[in-house]
Structure 1
Amino acid sequence: MNAQERGMPIWRDPIPNKIATNEEELVERRPDRWIEKVQVPTVEVFLPENTYDATDAVVICPGGGYKGVAYDLEGTKVAKWLQKRGVAAFVLKYRLPTSKSVKENEKVAIQDLQRTVRMVRANAKKWNINENGVGVIGFSAGGHLTATLAVHHDTNFYEPQDATDTQSAKPNFVALIYPVITMQSSFKHAGSVRNLLGESPGKQTIDFYSPELQVTKDTPPSFIVHASDDKAVPVENSLVFYESLIAKEVLAEMHIYPKGGHGFGLAQKNPHLSTWIERFYEWIQTQ
């Protein structure tokens, strides 16, 4: 079966943490389909063809500095790659903390991601998915969102809405691609910190949303990719998270490439860097 369900809302009405405004979603039809001011979070479903056994599943969180979502570059292109190789993929268009349509800004994106992981598990039989093989991959600020779920999967970020919310929100594995991680070190991505936490967040909030400080033995196995010459989100973000994982004896694999900069997606024009997605595919087979 080959199925795609475009723009499937992840919430029933009313959407949690939403207030009525005149704000409208903005979509720029440039190559990466850049989306801002998301009003209704949705998931786009990419199911592999001709599969009889239950497949693994990956929820994809595109980046965008918590200001927007690079929906195609770091979303649908990755989903189609995985779909062709027999992995179910789900591209999440999550709400953003910079929107004036939300009340608790720092919680809105993680609420949407928790709900999506639960939704995938709740529909495992329908979509022929192994409910114990549900992972999350995030790019840039989407990597921070993914890492936040990895370390805070047991935190209740919203009140249960229906039977879907009885499912676990813990991913079986996570992948972080040139991720924003720290909110407190000298190599933080200032734009993501400001967009997520505001101009003057308190220390407790900064620490809570700095995943490298929150790793436990219960953090899922992690796969990390970064380029050494990333000037936007320094490679130290990945290094400190990897060190925290190893310190807690969490299974982790990391690939640091010498060149690639930031926001390379599948890096199809770079023969060496473009192999990262193959390494990720091989890695999830071992999980």
Structure 2
Amino acid sequence: MKKPVLSMLLATTVSCALAAPTVLPLWPEGVPGQKNIGPEQNYNGYIQNVSEPTLTLVGPAVDRPNGTAVIVAPGGGYVRLSNDREGTQYATWLSTLGVTTFVLKYRMQEFGHPAPLQDVLRAVRLLRSRAAEFHIDPNRIGVMGSSAGGHLAASAGTLFDHPAGRTRNDLDKVSARPDFLMLMYPVIAMEGPAAHMGSRKALLGEKPSPELVQLMSVDKQVTSRTPPTLLIHTQADAAVPVENSILFYQALTKAKVPAELYAFEQGGHGMGMRDGLANASMWPRRAEEWLRARGLLTPSASAQPPK
């Protein structure tokens, strides 16, 4: 009898928690457009009021990493970050596959667009520029996100060259294009019946311009340069309709970008890695198969640490 996915992670989660995490500041030279918004708030696995974006490293739980890296952007409607359920838990699972994971703590409604986009693109540039230090392959850096974090990940995969994501720093010269995307019940549309208006308001404000709404409706920004994408969603999602993933999948297909979409019947919004949701609870196995089929779990010779 196979053990539930979440149960198999418990031992790894405990062992990871015993080690002090490595936290990397995204903007050591100073956060662009910095504001005094008061102290950061952490409660019950959530983070709010972020003004100092960081990456928290969760290393591979195997002797040698395979060289693939994933930046994980937790969801929370651009209001808060579901850091435990959609950040650390995903990172712990990825570590069992030999993936080096970095949980992204990004700015949200207190800053609005383009701050989150700047943060995720800086994260990609930072890891690519320091790939040798972290024993990762600079050509195997992906972004994974849930809900609004999925919107941010999809933004990274479509707006990686947009001027709004640049800050006139030397790192702007480094490519910010992710090599692959993994989108969990993502917010995609910023208008129409599929839109999640809470995320739109938090990111774009009360009355965004039509041009900004179009720009951040990321299915409309897909091109042939958008990276290969895995989408996970459920028919039962009453908060962010499955049409969001369908819209993005259709745009990827039209642009001839390799993509897979799993639209499960059960599982509400924010399901994370919860057991008891029929086939939806098996999404980590489908994701592992997708990563393996793309060669992302095969050890990369260029990313192995020196003997």
Task: Report the residue type matching 1:42 in the other structure.
Answer: T
Distance in 1 between residues matched to 2:219 and 2:77, nearest whole Å: 18
Q: How does 1:1-287 map to 2 (within 5 A)?
A: 5-19=21-35, 21-28=36-43, 30=44, 33-52=45-64, 54-96=66-108, 98-99=109-110, 102=111, 105-156=112-163, 157-162=165-170, 164-287=171-294
Task: Report the residue type matching 2:82 in the other structure.
Answer: A
Compare 105-114 and 265-274 and name the one that shifted more. Answer: 265-274
Task: Report the residue type matching 1:177 in the other structure.
Answer: M
Structure 2: runs of 5 or more not aligned:
1-15, 295-307
Q: Deviations over 1:37-62 (max 9, x none)?
A: 10111111011144446521110000
Q: Deviations over 1:88-126 (max 9, x none)?
A: 111001011x21xx4xx2101111100111111122111
Q: Could you say what secondary structure the match of 1:106 adopts?
A: coil
Q: CA deviation at 1:270?
A: 3.0
Q: Deviations over 1:183-215 (max 9, x none)?
A: 011221110011111111111000000011111
Distance in 2 between residues matched to 1:10 and 1:117, nearest whole Å: 10
Task: Report the residue type matching 2:129 in the other structure.
Answer: A
Q: CA deviation at 1:275?
A: 1.3
Distance in 2 between residues matched to 1:50 and 1:146, nearest whole Å: 26
Between structures 1 and 2, the one with greater helix share: 2
Structure 1: runs of 5 or more not aligned:
none
Distance in 2 between residues matched to 1:23 and 1:81, nearest whole Å: 33
Q: CA deviation at 1:5?
A: 3.8
Q: Deviations over 1:2-55 (max 9, x none)?
A: 986433211113211213x25211111x2xx11111011111101114444652
What value does the CA root-mean-square deviation take over the aligned residues? 1.6
Distance in 2 between residues matched to 1:45 and 1:27, nearest whole Å: 18
Q: Could you say what secondary structure the match of 1:218 adopts?
A: coil
Q: State the structure with bigger RCO (CA 8 A, min sep 6), 1 or 2.
A: 2
Between structures 1 and 2, the one with greater strand share: 1
> What count of residue pairs does the alignment treat as equivalent?
276
Task: Report the residue type matching 1:181 in the other structure.
Answer: I
Distance in 2 between residues matched to 1:217 and 1:22, nearest whole Å: 39
> What is the identity percentage for the equivalent residue pairs of Structure 1 and Structure 2?
38
Task: Report the residue type matching 2:24 in the other structure.
Answer: M
Contact 1:4 1:44 in 2 (8 A): no
Contact 1:181 1:212 in 2 (8 A): yes
Distance in 1 between residues matched to 2:20 and 2:128, nearest whole Å: 17
Q: CA deviation at 1:246?
A: 0.6
Contact 2:60 2:100 in 1 (8 A): yes
Contact 1:183 1:193 in 2 (8 A): yes
Contact 1:177 1:225 in 2 (8 A): yes
Task: Report the residue type matching 1:73 in the other structure.
Answer: R
